[in-house]
Amino acid sequence: MATLVLTTVGTAIGGPVGGAIGALIGNQVDQRFLAPRRQGARLGALTVQTSAYGQPIPKIFGTLRVAGTVIWATDLREEKQKTGGGKGRPGTTSYSYSASFAVAISGRRIQDVHRIWADGKLLRGAVGDWKSETGFRLHKGDEGQAIDPLLAAAEGQSGTPAYRGLAYAVFEDMQLADFGNRIPSLTFEVEADATPVSLGQIANELSGGAASGETDAALGGYAAGGDSVRAAIETLGCVLPVCVRDDGHRLILSDVTGKTTRVDTADLGSEAGATRVDRRSIDRQAVGTLPDEVSITYYEPSRDYQAGLQRARRAGGPARRSEAVELAAALDAGNAKAMAERHLAERWAGRATGGAALPWRHLDLRPGDDIMLDETTPWKINRWTLEGMVLTLKLRGVADRQAGIAPARPGRATASIDLPHGPTRIALMDLPPLSDEGETTLRLWLAAAGESPAWRRAAVIVSIDDGASWSDAGATALPAIMGAARTALPPGDPALFDTDTSVEVRLLNDEMTLMSRDDDAVAGGANAAMLGSELIQFGKAVRLANGSWRLSRLLRGRRGTEFAIGGHAAGEAFVLIDRDSLLPISVPSGRIGGTMRAIAVGVGDGVGVEASTLIAGNAVRPPAPVHLRARRLDDGGLRFSWTRRSRSGWVWADARDAPIGEEQERYQITIQPANGTARTAEIDVAEFLYTSAMIAVDAMVAGMLSVSVVQVGTIATSLPVLATFDTTGERS
């Protein structure tokens, strides 16, 4: 007589591997597969980018964060840029690197890629903004997918595959400065399907249709590895509440309903001809072979898909035997905890196995069903055999599905800050000398920062001929602390600490801070800032309720900028001076008097931001002379004198006069009578005799004299000191 065998062990998928699938999905456990201490593909395989030839590309379901496999790359492209240098000073050559490469991310079609991490830090934010400069194209794995143009240009159209059915991303000219001048390890938040994704969908696709059915058992995301059918179904079947039936042609997945059929003990046995079969057996696996603890490792979406771990442990002392299940799946902590508890309970319930024979009228029973043979013990049908009208069942114990699950916590998140990079803001400044040694090269300085704290840098081009031509100036320096004045700073005394005035400034973002410093620190150069065209220093910085800062206890007109003390207005630029946050831009001294323009484009800016300034040469010109005075001579002439200053002697260290700071001492004086002819003279001492004979020649009879004196420096001329005198030498 023919024998009909139905089992929860399917044979429709892939020979002996498929033969174990059904039992494992339904937790009808074949102990050969559950014996190892670790199950599932190691999670590290999804977090570390590889480039090994033959590396399997995971098939992504749902939404998951995965590392890719580099399938194509160019050599690093090197760019040189020389900065600095000048008379007696070495220049600096900096190198920047970029690379283009392609990364495979899924062995099946996907919908999109959202966030991208590089070396664990966000490269692309949730809204699609980039934190570092790169070109990017995503190929989603359609069967009609076109060849990428960059790969085709490099490898030739005929030698470049379209990679149809494979989702991959192409990065073009990625700037590598943020990553140690190497291609970083990338991970991608991949959306493959609408989430959640059911186990039935995963099994059906991976088996080529040999498994079907609908089940509520679902995951937020899943990555099926190289041994796809076994990896996906064997491991998931251990921990998800599903069962599988084999109808002889295909596997049918269904939910565990919890429904139990009660069988009368009188039916335990059946007639086969003249012989009665009356058999019921129970075996129990040795306790020492079972785990005391089960751990589930998974990916936690609320923690940027970082690895999480939940444990289940039997009561009664420390665990002596443990079993680890690694799921390349996106789960929340509660579901992972429930899986661990369920798996541990099923392992211990499954230690009891048994058999029973029933009459043929119980043919409605199927593998995977629960039956009750007495008043207390439920059993699951693991195998069903019909021969000679006798139904023979292979049984295993069933865990208590009503048992509560202990609460679980996902742990503290260490998520990357996802803030937009820009927009970029810049200030182009013709600063006075910042060091005590005389500058020999004319430089202007560019400060840049962003309205977002995530801003890092921008690319800069400059024009020293008011936009007629442009050149590359490289990348900006570190983000500057900068903003704008909310109030107008009143005039003050440049000789002493100004304790009467203050100014409020609003910085670009709330992450920028200022700090108070004592008088000694300020005297030593601390807290220097450009406010408009005046270089100030502040001793006190107080954060206000509106997010602004009030600056007080000021030193005014520093380094020869006293000319700007009286010209302040609300809205003018504020920049804290820090050499590390300033980009120097060398300018030929012949361009003094012209206009410089700069354009900076940060990552994600789209359109660049522009700034311009007059090239005055403040760093290389002497500061204006001071204390211009006149004295009447006995013959009716006038003696004008003044005090020179030096751009290389700001610190008075030895009670001696400041050094000249130029190749020679030279001045130009201009005397303009109110009713006569102007006189100009160049001299090499800090005084000028305006004799009575000169007065007669200049036809000055009476009235006022306007006098201007500048120091002629090696590279540039100082601003003038101006004064008006009457014919007696009295200053008006």
Task: Return the pLDDT at 351.
Answer: 81
Tell me phi and psi for residue 510, to 5 degrees: -75, -10
Task: Return the pLDDT at 11.
Answer: 30
Task: Return the pLDDT at 19.
Answer: 34
Nearest to 34 by CA among 405, 350, 379, 335: 350
Instruction: Give kind and range of the element (H or E) at residue 582.
Output: strand 582-586
Mean pLDDT, the chain, integer: 82
Cα-based distances in Å from 61 to 189, 202, 292, 330, 684: 12, 7, 32, 10, 84
Task: Return the pLDDT at 275.
Answer: 36
- The one-letter code for the residue type at 202 is I
CA distance 490 to 354: 96
Three-state DSSP class for residue 44: helix
Nearest to 33 by CA among 22, 42, 45: 22
pLDDT category at 188 given cuts 50, 70, 90 is very high
Per-residue pLDDT tens digits for 250-300: 777 777 766 778 887 777 765 443 333 345 567 776 666 788 888 889 999
On whether the CB atoms of residues 610 and 598 are closer than 8 A, the answer is yes
What proportion of the chain, given as a percentage, has pLDDT over 90?
Answer: 39
- The one-letter code for the residue type at 605 is D
DSSP structure class, residue 43: G
Instruction: Provide the CA 585 distance to its chain's centre, in angstroms.
Output: 29
Nearest to 620 by CA among 473, 494, 427, 434: 434
Contacts 24+ apart (CB under 8 A), 274-282: 277/357, 277/390, 278/357, 279/355, 279/356, 279/357, 280/354, 280/355, 280/356, 280/357, 280/373, 281/354, 281/355, 282/352, 282/353, 282/354
Tell me phi and psi for residue 151, to 5 degrees: -65, -40
Indicate whether 425 pLDDT > 60.
yes
pLDDT category at 596 given cuts 50, 70, 90 is very high
CA distance 487 to 501: 11
CA distance 392 to 359: 9
Per-residue pLDDT tens digits for 8-32: 543 333 332 333 333 333 333 333 3
Lowest mean pLDDT among 54-63, 202-211, 238-247, 541-550: 238-247
Task: Return the pLDDT at 542.
Answer: 96
Q: Is the pTM of this model over 0.85?
A: no
Indicate whether 349 pLDDT > 50.
yes
Per-residue pLDDT tens digits for 229-252: 655 666 677 677 777 666 667 777
**Domains along the sequence of the chain with CATH:** 424-614 (no CATH), 626-726 (2.60.40.10)
Residues in the chain: 732
- The more confidently predicted of residues 269 and 99 is 99
- The more confidently predicted of residues 542 and 230 is 542
* Top mean-pLDDT range of 389-393, 419-423, 436-440: 389-393
Task: Return the pLDDT at 399.
Answer: 78
Task: Return the pLDDT at 704.
Answer: 83
- The answer for residues whose C-beta is within 8 angstroms of residue 512's C-beta and 6 or more apart is 449, 453, 481, 482, 483
